[in-house]
Chains A and B, each alone.
Chain A
């Protein structure tokens, strides 16, 4: 009924005063009606019922004239007020109550001859109130109930739907577009971040790989150099050579022959089972009282020479006519060659620290 209110605001003289407002200035009879209507329910209803009793309850608007003559003895002024009082509810019951902002309806025309126009709305509004509260509601009343139910229904539905999906489903198209573009910008930002991180990851990985390769290479070189320098024990295919009854020169010859035949790592052990690693700087000297001195260690025969290399090649080199085996045998010594798929050179030398030489590069 906001339209009521609007009209009332626009046109204060019309209609009932709202609570807290002064009643609009009206003439006596209207004032009386106003007081009556704005009072509490029972005081309003009682006279009305008394008046309506005879035949008015089921009657439509036009027939209300039957009830207009009040059976009670009243003063003319009261009669007029009561009549208005009675007539109005009938209008409302007929479902065609004239309202303050609906003068074109037929009802006011009917009422006008009896009363002043400005008094008309009040009783009718009262009747509307009663019909809403009341018993057999008019079609309009039923419609109101339906509308209210619909209102509650949609209210709950809307609240629920807002709860449900964060409002995305009900968002407007431009909002969705804005959200989408935001997400896309964020996505591209994250994508560039991902690619940057992947690049740095690749760099780090390649760096690690390069460092690992370099480390492996260095370790390999260190091993090779260690084998050559005699600081690392070695194993591999090779020969075990048993020599007896020879001098240091014969041993030196044997070692040289083996080196020429591709022997890589060698050691020599005497009867004392003490092995000496043979490296580039090894020397052999005949010791007094038998035996030889190898790199400061005195060993005695028989000597066991262990060499890693290609067994066949080294054996062939030793057995070549006029070679080591022949000369040793002719010198009264003995040589025994034994090919092995795996020999172990366990003797190591302490690494020497070079005092003067430095790498040129």
Chain B
């Protein structure tokens, strides 16, 4: 599908260009990636459930990433960046697990 192709294209671009992460962005990129991963799994789940919506996906994707980065930024400013980013990762991990479980139920009926 086109979506998968786009994902692969992005991966290929990352491999080809191999850019370095700007230092000021370095703490937020991992969290943003995890948040995006959560959004992608949620999108896949919604698609399998048949309730996928373009706009919803875009908005939730962007807002997830931004909110995650914002929380980490706030934590950094408050001096609890490590703990807060851990918390964000835990929350996102729980959501990813839930989404993957739904996808699994849908695909394997189990």
Contacts and interface: CB of A to CB of B under 8 A. Distances in A.
Interface of A: 1-5, 8, 15-21, 37-38, 92, 95-97, 99-102, 121-122, 124-126, 128-129, 131-133, 137-138, 140-141, 143-158, 160-162, 169-170, 172-175
Given A151-B7, A160-B14, A1 B19 contact: no
Given A1-B53, A37-B50, A140 B58 contact: yes
Contacts of B58: 140, 143-144, 147
B109 A19 contact: yes
B57 A170 contact: no
Given A5-B99, A99-B56, A145-B3, A16 B10 contact: no
Given A2-B38, A132-B3, A150 B53 contact: no
Interface of B: 1-3, 6-11, 13-15, 18-21, 23, 26-27, 29-30, 32-33, 36-43, 45-58, 60-62, 64, 76, 79, 81-82, 95, 98-99, 102, 105-107, 109-110
B8 A152 contact: yes
Contacts of B81: 172, 174
Given A2-B95, A99-B56, A151-B33, A15 B51 contact: yes
A156 B99 contact: no
5 contacts: A18-B49, A19-B49, A148-B7, A160-B15, A170-B26
B27 to A, nearest CB: 6
A155 B54 contact: no
B14 A155 contact: yes
A153 B99 CA distance: 22
A154 B32 contact: yes
Contacts of A147: 36, 58, 61-62
Contacts of B30: 158, 162, 170
Contacts of A173: 76
B13 A125 contact: no
B54 A141 contact: yes
B26 A169 contact: yes
Given A152-B14, A156-B15, A99 B109 contact: no
Contacts of B79: 174
Main DSSP-derived SS at the A contact region: helix
A167 to B, nearest CB: 9
Nearest to B58: A143
Contact of A20 (B36, B53, B76, B109): B109
B4 to A, nearest CB: 8
B56 A129 contact: no
B60 to A, nearest CB: 5
Contacts of A150: 10, 36
Given A19-B48, A20-B106, A148-B6, A169 B99 contact: no
B109 A172 contact: no
Given A140-B55, A146-B6, A152-B10, 7 more contacts: A5-B42, A5-B99, A128-B53, A131-B54, A144-B54, A150-B36, A157-B19
B13 A161 contact: no
B51 A155 contact: no
A144 B57 contact: yes
A153 B23 contact: no
A170 B38 CA distance: 22
B22 to A, nearest CB: 10
A147 B65 CA distance: 11
Contacts of A146: 6
Nearest to B107: A19
A97 B14 contact: no
Contacts of A144: 3, 6, 43, 54, 57-58, 61
A170 B21 contact: yes
Nearest to B16: A156
B50 A1 contact: no
Q: Considering residues B6, B18, B50, which has the most beta carbons from chain A within 10 angstroms of its beta carbon?
A: B50
Nearest to B62: A147
Given A2-B39, A138-B54, A174-B82, A151 B60 contact: no
A1 B9 contact: no
